[in-house]
Structure formats: C-alpha cells, structure tokens
Amino acid sequence: MTARRTRHLALGLAVACLGITTPTANATAAAAAASAPGADTARVISDAAALRAGGWGVGLESGTMDQDPSGPHTPEAGGARGAALSAGVPATWTLQGAGAGHGVGMSQYGALAQAQAGWSAAQILKFYYSGTTVSPAADAMTLVVNLQSDVSSSVVTTSALASGGGAFSLSAGGKTIKGVAGNTVTLSRTSAGVTVSCPSCTGGASLSSSQVTMRFADGKTLANVGGGRYDVGILTIVPSRDNTGTLEVGLRVRLHDEYLDRIAEMPWGWPSAALQAQAAAARAYALSKVKDGLRPDCSCHVYDSTYDQVFYGYPATGNLPYWTAWKNAVRAGGTATAGVVPRYAGAVVRAYYSASNGGYTQASADAWGTALPYLVAKADPWSSKPGNPYLFWSKTVSAADLQAATGSREVARLNLATRAPSHALGTVKAYDRAGAATLTPGALFAGRLGLNSPWVRHRGERLSAPDQASLAVSIARSVPATASTVVLTSADPNKLADAVAVPPLAKALGAPVLLTDQYAIPLPTVGELNRRVSALKTAYVIGGEATISERVVDQLKARGMTVVRIAGADRFEVSANIATRLHQLKPVRNVIVVGGNALPDAITVGGPAAGTGSAILFTAPASLSAPAAGFLQAAKPKTAQVVGGSASVSGAVVSQLQARKITTVRLSGADRYGVSVAVSAYFVPRIPGTRLVVASGDNAMLQDGVLGAAFARPTLLIDTDRLPGNSAAYLQSLGWIGTVTGIGGPAHINDATWTAVLES
C-alpha cells in the first residue's frame, strides 16, 4: 500500500515526512456516572447533569500559538467561553501532539540525535528497520521522476550553468528541433497527445506526438520546469492517463547519483552518520518503487514531492556549500554501480521515514493495514530529545472543521483514548449532545484536520519531588522571588483541614505556600526561604500550636520576619478567620461552602477559589456553622456555591444561605471525582487561563490538590491507578486545554494513569 506523504518542512532544505493514511482500531468510551440532585431548592449542577446537558465549561480557545498555547483569557474571552458552556458544544478545539508525519520507519530527528550521540549510519538503520542488515545493492538503473502531474500546459526554458550552456533539443514523432538559452518551450495537451511550441527554435516552431522528449543535460545547462531547476536527466512529456486535457512531465535520471544526489529530505549540514542513514533509506525506497514498475497514472516511478521523496533538482546557491557532504553520504560504503541499503531476509526494504514520531515508531500494519516485519512499533526516545521542533505542536480548529473530520452533526465530546501500540490515534469517537457517536480512523482524522501527526495528546507537565515539602517548593517557584510574603501550612497530611482554605488568601497576598513540620522548618522549605531572603518580610502561619508550634514562629522571627498566625478552635473557625483576612485585603463577593467532614470535596475548590477571589468556608452538614455565619454577616457576599451532596451539606444550609439573599448553586457528583468535574465545569468560564490541574483523590494524597491550587485553576481529581469514567468524559469535552499539570510523581499518579489523562 502506497503511503501518501503529507508534510513538507523547511529546515534550510526541504525535509519531508511520509504521510498519514488510515489505521483501524476499536474505540471505547468512558461512561459518565449518574448523580441525583440534592434535596434542596438550590440550582444543582452535577457531573452527570453536565454530561447529559453538554454543559462542560468547554471553551472558545482561539489564537493558540504553535509552541506555547496559553495567554490568559481576558474577561471577555471568559464570557465567550460561558456562551459555549450554555450551548454545550465548543466553538473551537485546541488539538495538541508530538511528531510530524506517519512515524513509520526512521525518524529523521531521531537519526539526528543518534548521530550526535556517536551512532553510525548502520546502527541508525538497524534501530529503525527492525531485524535488518546493511549492505550494498545495485542502483545504476534509470527511474522516472514526475515533476508536474495533471497540468494542462507547461513552460520550459533553459539557462546556462556554465559558459556556452543553454542548448537543448526537442524530439517527437521522428522529428527534432533545437533551441538555446532564452528560448521558450510551451507544452500543451491536444488531440494529437502533446504539442510543443517553440517559435525561436531552429528546425521548426512546433511538434506534435504522443510523447515529447527534451534533452539538455550537457553539464553546463539548466532546464527550468515548474519552479525547479534541473541539470541532469531527460525530460519526457506524455498525456495523462486519466485526464484527456492534461500532461505528465517526467525526468528520466540514473538512480545511483543523478537522482540520489538531489534528494533533499534532510538538511545537508547534519552529521555524516545521519546523512548516510538518510541516503540509504532514500535509495532503498527508490529501489522498491523501481521494482514496482511505472505507475500508469503518472508514467513515473516516483513523484518529486513529499508524496514520495523530495527531489530538489540543482541546489540553490545557499545550499551548494553543503552539497558535497550530501553526495559523500550517498556514496559512502558503495561502488560506482551500487549503494548501501537496509535489507530484511536479504531483500531491500521499503524504507519509509518521516520527520519525527511521537516517541514511538508506528507499525506499518497500524498505519496502513499492511504488516511489514521490519516496520514495527517500538519506543523511540531519540525522537524526544531536545532540539526536535516537533516535541510539541498545537492547532486550533473550528467546530465546523471537527464536524467535517468526524462526520458528526456536532461534537460535544471527543474521545481519543483508543490508541495503536505506538500510542498514535486508533479510532476517534465523536459524541453529540444526545450521546450518539461517530467513529473515524485516527490517521484519517489527523489528515483531514491537517495535523502534524497522529500522536495527538494533551501537553502535560508533572511536578514531583521526594517529599511534600520539596513538592511545595517546586510549585512555589511559580511565584516571583520578589514576593514579600510567604504562607506556611502543616506538612502533616493528618492536619490538612487548616490548609484547605489557604489558596485564595495566598493568591491575594501574592505569596508562595510552603510546608513546615510542627516543631521545625524542613530543609527544603529552609532552602526556599533562603532563596527569597532579601524580599520576604511577612510570614502567615496557618493553624494553632498543635499544628505549627511557637518554635517554628521563633525560627521565622529570627529571620527578621513579621509572623501572623491565623488559627481557631477548629477547622470551621480557621476557615472563617482566613476568609476574614481575605476580605480585609479585598471585599469577598462570593463564598464556596463545603462540608467540614468532606475534605476531598474541599480539595477541589482551592484553585477556583484562588482564581475568583472566593472565600472557602467549612460548615457542619445539618446547619451553617457559627464561624461561617459570622463571616457571612460581616462580608455580605452576593453568591455562593455549595460543594457536595446533601449528606455533606444539607438542604437546610442552602436555605440558610438563601435566607441571607445569597444566590446559591450546588455543585455535586456521585463521588469526589464527580464533584471535581462539577466544580471545574462551573468555574472554567469564570477563571482566565488554559491550564488544568490533575491530582490524586486518594485520601493519603489529598495534600497534592491543596498545593496544586496555587495555579488558581480547576483541579480534576483522579485515582492514583485509574482515570475515573466521569473524569475521562470531562477531559474529552474540553476544547480549550493548553497544559495539563499533574501534581505528584508515579507513586501519586502512576504512569499508565498519567498517559490515560494525556491521551484521553
């Protein structure tokens, strides 16, 4: 099966990548968990309701840049995303990934990295073409390169490459006419087949026949055809087979040198081992095409473009200094009539290659349905080395484009979870708001949208450290070193409740959040305090002495810092006191009310609260806690979100809020994961940015979510070893994600789960 080549790169020379066709695979969809509304009169938004209604907070993310999708949204952009939320279908989708081309066989950027590491051409070839050997093969035969296909006419001129050059001859039907540099030759399709017009030629002004031949290659002449310049070969012009009004313009050249010397698939200034591997692959590919015979549709063996291999012709002036290096690579290890190729079981392979893959080579069977034993899926870390411009790409497409690519009447959710063994797209499943799905082969989907490759996945970053104090330091680095204030919370996960309400206060203070033990500041935190020593003036300590002792306060004072402790008799009072300090900095107009015994629910609101300047208040399930009521009386907020079901925060609490004329919305779900979906869906239109934070919802790791709230973005909870179905469905409905930030290493979110997040 012929692989259509789809991308032409500019890297000083034309670098091409064999393109994308259609793999087949089965698709699976994550089912959304159902959730009953709470038994109160507040408007209820649950994860299941969001799925059914299509109201996912998905965005109108437009203008995404290729290498850095972001740029905070303006308030107006947030409003536009709100419009998409109510409509239930994103107006645009930001698709991201890695690699360029189909990824079958050799990765050119992978070969570059291997050559830079000292690998030989033979080692490179054997890595990418599994089970092969490397040896010479006869290559002195002629092949025909198609320069122009299905053209109604063509104009050819010649110019002098050296003194006395420019002469040519045209032959057809037993007749020959001659011309010189500056003469214009016009080729057109007529009833006779091909007609040549050359008014200035000698021996006649025109010729007509079923085929025309133009000879010019005398070592000092260039033929100028269709924008290309050629110093070798014989031009052959024939009628197109499938079109009665067009022509095929081909160039007959010797494969050994005339053809291979002018292949521009890799920058000729790259290391010699990479060039030699490229030359061997190009030779093997061309030999396989010669073996197939002339293609009837073009009367050629190969096209001159990325459909097959880029045949550059005579180099431009800027590339001439590098041409010798390329020609030396073509001849390396060969003879006057043979050149090096990779072989499998003694036969020359069809050496597919592309600019880069997504970290795995793709099997030919997955790409095109034809299994070749030397083209298999395998990990390719060399394609993920720095310096590869295709380590990450991003493209924003319209809803209409996505509908056309999937054949769906609308796309409310895009399931990309089915993957080939190489992690390239398998089958894409597009859902409309009614839940009906259409299936599209992944490579066909990528090709229709003009994506760089079928390795479509979210851009991800993982923040991990040996311990939680070090993790807090890592996240704190996102806060400028000029910050004058720092917030310290307990490193003890059993004392997490006091820290839950901290994120909006830290955001308002412009302060990093660091962790401390009860009686001493841990070394990672000490190091970060030392790094910030010239700027820090004030430290907020959260919790009473049973959480953070006076010893720690004394250590901070010894650094010349003013210490402000925010404490309380219990978590209800601590959260209210934090809210009070937040209100002193800036009036609080919105509160988020969570159950005092529902820490996982509370974890999900830290980022949204920080992003919107909302206060977080703990309450008892049956009735609004006294500290929360006292804060509400003083601050008089206008709106509130109640997080969790009625078992965590009862309908009576909602009624108490409404009695204070506070507009109230309940955000609920079947479990902590569903709650995080509902919270994120509600707040996404209200928070600028394109980051989504992912953290483990396991009880022992809830501190990750509190630390991740420093990014002031929604936090999606998942299992350490599983991507819950409702979380997966939510991810699949987000058209706006720029970066997914995972909090914690593999012990917190294992590698398989992290991959599932990025490839959802």
pLDDT of residue 742 exceeding 70, the answer is: yes
pTM value is 0.85
Q: How confident is the model at residue 61 (pLDDT cuts 50, 70, 90)?
A: very low
**Number of structural domains the chain divides into:** 1
Q: How confident is the model at residue 576 (pLDDT cuts 50, 70, 90)?
A: very high
According to DSSP, the residues that pair with 106 across neighbouring strands are: 353
Stronger pLDDT, 78 or 43, i.e. the higher one? 43
Its sign, for the CA torsion 296, 302, 306, 310, is negative
Q: What is the per-residue pLDDT for 390?
A: 97
Q: Name the token pair of 306.
A: 């990325």
Give backbone dihedrals phi and psi of 12, rounded to 5 degrees, phi first.
90, -40
Give, as one character, the DSSP assignment of residue 709: G
Smallest CA-to-CA distance from 680 within 575, 606, 616 is with: 606
pLDDT for 362-397, tens place per residue? 999 999 999 999 999 999 999 999 999 999 999 999
Task: Please state the rounded mean pLDDT for residues 394-414.
Answer: 97
Give, as one character, the DSSP assignment of residue 417: -
Q: Name the token pair of 344.
A: 């499998």
Residues 6+ apart with CB under 8 A from 471: 463, 464, 465, 704, 707, 743, 744
Task: Please state the rounded mean pLDDT for residues 569-580.
Answer: 97
Whether 754 is covered by a domain: the verdict is: yes
Give, as one character, the DSSP assignment of residue 293: -
Q: What is the per-residue pLDDT for 73?
A: 26
According to DSSP, the residues that pair with 169 across neighbouring strands are: 178, 215
Rounded Cα gap, residues 251 and 468, in angstroms: 66
Least reliable range by pLDDT among 438-442, 625-629, 684-688:
684-688
pLDDT of residue 36 exceeding 90, the answer is: no
Rounded Cα gap, residues 710 and 337, in angstroms: 66
Helix residue ranges, H only, 226-348: 272-292, 320-331
Task: Please state the rounded mean pLDDT for residues 343-368.
Answer: 97
Whether 703 is covered by a domain: the verdict is: yes
Task: Please state the rounded mean pLDDT for residues 229-256.
Answer: 95
pLDDT of residue 83 exceeding 60, the answer is: no
pLDDT for 154-182, tens place per residue? 999 999 999 999 999 999 999 999 999 99
Q: Radius of gyration of the chain from Cα atoms?
A: 33
Q: What is the per-residue pLDDT for 44?
A: 52
Whether 701 is covered by a domain: the verdict is: yes
Stronger pLDDT, 501 or 25, i.e. the higher one? 501
Q: How confident is the model at residue 79 (pLDDT cuts 50, 70, 90)?
A: very low
Q: What is the per-residue pLDDT for 654?
A: 97
Give the amino acid at 571. R
Q: What is the per-residue pLDDT for 524?
A: 98
Residue 622: domain span: 462-758
pLDDT for 456-471, tens place per residue? 999 999 999 999 999 9
pLDDT for 594-651, tens place per residue? 999 999 999 999 999 999 999 999 999 999 999 999 999 999 999 999 999 999 999 9
Pairing mode, strands 133-138 and 338-344 = antiparallel
Q: What is the per-residue pLDDT for 88?
A: 73
Q: Which residues of 55-70 are buried (b: 16+ CB within 10 A; e: fewer)?
A: bbbbbbbeebeeeebe
Smallest CA-to-CA distance from 219 within 289, 155, 165 is with: 165
pLDDT of residue 41 exceeding 90, the answer is: no
Rounded Cα gap, residues 528 and 523, in angstroms: 9
Whether 499 is covered by a domain: the verdict is: yes
Whether 40 is covered by a domain: the verdict is: no
Rounded Cα gap, residues 547 and 558, in angstroms: 20
Residues 6+ apart with CB under 8 A from 460: 739, 740, 741, 742, 754, 757, 758
Whether 564 is covered by a domain: the verdict is: yes
Rounded Cα gap, residues 135 and 147, in angstroms: 31
pLDDT for 250-292, tens place per residue? 999 999 999 999 999 999 999 999 999 999 999 999 999 999 9
Give the amino acid at 16. A
pLDDT of residue 59 exceeding 80, the answer is: no
Residues 6+ apart with CB under 8 A from 392: 67, 96, 97, 98, 459
Task: Please state the rounded mean pLDDT for residues 223-249.
Answer: 94
Q: What is the per-residue pLDDT for 42?
A: 46
Q: How confident is the model at residue 191 (pLDDT cuts 50, 70, 90)?
A: confident
pLDDT for 521-567, tens place per residue? 999 999 999 999 999 999 999 999 999 999 999 999 999 999 999 99
Q: What is the per-residue pLDDT for 55?
A: 25
Query: With the CA atoms of 72, 725, 618 and 692 taken in that order, what torsion angle do they form, in degrees rounded to the nearest 10?
Result: -10
SS3 assignment, position 427:
strand
Write the secondary structure of 481-510 as one string of H (helix), E (strand) and C (coil): CCCCEEEEEECCHHHHHHHCCHHHHHHHHC
Q: Name the token pair of 576.
A: 């209210």
Give, as one character, the DSSP assignment of residue 74: P
Rounded Cα gap, residues 616 and 400, in angstroms: 40
Q: How far is CA 738 from CA 461, 598, 655, in A?
A: 11, 30, 39
Task: Please state the rounded mean pLDDT for residues 317-324.
Answer: 96
Mean pLDDT of the chain: 89
Query: Do the Cβ atoms of 164 and 221 come closer than 8 Å?
Result: no
pLDDT of residue 472 exceeding 90, the answer is: yes
Whether 518 is covered by a domain: the verdict is: yes
Whether 643 is covered by a domain: the verdict is: yes
Query: Do the Cβ atoms of 344 and 132 come closer than 8 Å?
Result: yes
Residue whose tokens read 């291997």: 114
